[in-house]
Amino acid sequence: MAEAHQAVGFEFTVRPDGADIKLSQEVIKNIYLSGVTAWRKRAIQFKNGVLAGVYPASPSSWLIVVIAMISTLYTRVDLSLGMIDLIKENLPRNLALTLTCVLSAILFATLLWLFLIYLLRYSLKALLSYHAWIFESHGKMSSSTKLWLSLIKMFSGRRPLLYSFQASLPRLPLPSVDDTIDRYLESVHALLDDKRYKQMETLANDFRNTSAPQLQRYLLLKSWWATNYVSDWWEEYIYLRGRSPIMVNSNFYVMDLLYITPTQRQTARAGNVVHAMLQYRRKLERGEHAPVRALGIVPMCSSQMERIFNTTRIPGIETDIVQHLSDRKHLVVYHRGRFFQVWLYTGGRHLLPSELEMQFQRILNDTSEPQPGELKLAALTAGNRVPWARARLKYFSQGVNKASLQAVESSAFFLTLDDEAQGYDPAKTGSLDGYAKSLLHGKCYDRWFDKSFTLISYTNGKMGINTEHSWADAPIIGHMWEYVLATDCFHLGYTEEGHCKGDINKGIPPPARLEWQIPKECRETIETSYVLAKQIADDVDFHGCLFSEFGKGLIKKCRTSPDAFIQLALQLAQFRDQGGFCLTYESSMTRMFREGRTETVRSCTSEAVAFVRAMEEEDKTNGTRLELFRKAADKHQNMYRLAMTGSGIDRHLFCLYIMSKYLRMDSPFLKQVLSEPWKLSTSQTPQQQLNLVDINKFPRYVGAGGGFGPVADDGYGVSYIIVGEDLITFHISSKFSSSETDSFRFGQNIRKAICPPVGQAKHLENGTVRDLLLICNPLIMGR
């Protein structure tokens, strides 16, 4: 093979008078540069590890403390309170007196420095445990919160690294059983009739008075011992132990820029994006990204970011595992049924965008046919987990299949060079719908659904991502994608012809085809997985909605939370679509705590129900509707804040249920709670790095967000993103097999709930109740 020939660094010939050895200077140079790069990388990682390890102090502060302690040796003041003398007595007696004094001072100074570091760290942890600020009204800040913010700034240092705050983040608090049960009963009161509510109340009180105290004690012990009492069980039991397909049911997608496509050349766009991802990964490995901080001050946990790259979900018979490897130097590319391995480094550096473009173009130019069973091989990752696990053990545990599968699973990430065009086209009806379905499931065999993420490149230059959910949540991949898009468009750029900038080294070995020897029995398993996955994919009913009439700008001027506004609109749309209310899931984050992931906000509150009913009753005045709207919005905001600060309902009940299974304790209450279907599942895609792109200057460089499949067979999945001041995008999914749902119809109901008459939003007076009435018209006006 050509690449094997070029990989040879030397050759020798045995002659009667000895061996003649010829070294390849180019290869030796590459080996040397690779070694230098590896050592430089280790040095930077070590340095940044030290900086993060001693944070919020700095290594230079150690020298200051040492100098201060040594200087006391020449004064009569003993700041060590006799500790230096005690250390001096335990040093070897054969040392010179001056050396003994200096060593004693240095040892004491080092111990004092470490003590101060832990004191600062725990002081910062105590400060970060204060959450009263999040419950204060927008624009109003108490004196205690102002003081707290000043202390946070003082303790946070000047230039924290990505992982600097990890050791200072507080643990997720464990709510009391009484609070959780009371909040749960309140959350279902509006959804149950009196008889069913009484039955649930009886079950809840029986649980409260019998098994709950024992389960809570064990859970309290876990909360003391583990870093986070929820996250490990959440990953294992919600994601990894699931035996049904993860395609559609678990994986989610992220879209490209909505209006802009920087280049129409598929390989050029893929080259820039992959290079930007490598830049992001390098900063990630070094911990050089700025930590995500609420209000620009309160740090969020960054632990999930460690597994963005080099990560794969490995199937098992009973449970899967998440395999995360250290630095991987290749990716695997899928195109028209063939798998290619592409090396990402040469001479100790990343491939340039132009070099990556050349490699991807070589793949497009390759006219070889797929090997038997290769075309739909990735369908194994889209089907049931047990057949995939068994096939992996039986057919991929030795020989070329093992080597090729290892190349896929150990790659930095997976890239699909798709053979069709996708993206949002205002002139083409349903373009956003088809784009979303392509990202969510594709052809069911052209994405490796087990990889941490699959990057998808379309023929018209559009991109997108399909993400496996077990290792992290949407804001993590969103953070990376924001960086990549900004780097692609504003830093790397393209030539006038749409190619990547930079020179091309044509001596780089071409991509290598992965070899497979797939027997007939395995091909039958592949086909079975594909048939199942195709049924799931064909059942996904998707609809995308764009609202550009108004956005968070006008909503905020009316002193209303944009998220609460949308959630109430969704409740009104749900009622008009289904003729009733349902248990509603909204995802919130708990990343203010170490290893925090998500919590559930139960958006269908009694206050929301009262507001929606008032909207549908003609005898209710607009003043009454507005009052109910305010109460419902305030209630939603309070519940969202409780969830963010560790006082949610569902994660606590989930952990109590898992603990009851470990202790073999039967709880009818917990069984009932955990079996309740979420017929409306919602999530907001947050924007995290607003500094990367000035939307006011570049208004068309906005993302379209992402989405997920329906959670319930007869329900809706709704993801939305609020971009800039005047754009809200909804991603709505349901199932064609359900006669009760219709994604397009639900989208129309959302539009009728929140969209004002054309042109009306431009003539609003700022900050008045009338503004709210007009913005919410017909949401508030009942039209």
Catalytic residues: 469
Rounded-to-integer distance, Cα 354 and Cα 761, Å: 46
Strand-pairing partners, residue 24, are: none
Rounded-to-integer distance, Cα 534 and Cα 556, Å: 43
Residue among 465, 469, 468, 498 nearest 484 (CA): 465
DSSP letters of 273-304?
HHHHHHHHHHHHHHT-SPPPEETTTEE---GG
CA-angle at 570, arms to 565 and 572, nearest 5°: 95
Contact 214, 663 (CB under 8 A): yes
Rounded-to-integer distance, Cα 453 and Cα 449, Å: 7
Tokens of 257: 């820029």
Strand-pairing partners, residue 345, are: 350
What letter represents residue 229's amino acid? Y
Q: Is 260 helix (H, G, I), strand (E, B) or coil?
A: coil
Rounded-to-integer distance, Cα 56 and Cα 548, Å: 44
Contact 480, 308 (CB under 8 A): yes
Residue 253 gets the label, from left (phi > 0), alpha (psi -120 to 50) or beta, of beta
Strand extents, DSSP E, 521-583: 540-547
Rounded-to-integer distance, Cα 703 and Cα 100, Å: 64
Contact 526, 380 (CB under 8 A): yes
Q: Is 243 helix (H, G, I), strand (E, B) or coil?
A: coil
With a CB cutoff of 8 Å and minimum separation 6, the contacts of 326 are 310
Buried b (16+ CB within 10 A) or exposed e, 34-72: beeeeeeeeeeeeebeebbebbbbbeeebeebbeebbeb
Tokens of 620: 């209710």
Q: How many residues appear in the chain?
A: 783
With a CB cutoff of 8 Å and minimum separation 6, the contacts of 489 are 257, 260, 262, 693, 701
Contact 749, 577 (CB under 8 A): yes
> Cα-atom radius of gyration of the chain, to the nearest Å?
29
DSSP element (H, E) containing 750 = helix 743-754
What letter represents residue 207's amino acid? F
Residue among 452, 487, 468 nearest 283 (CA): 487
What letter represents residue 491's amino acid? H
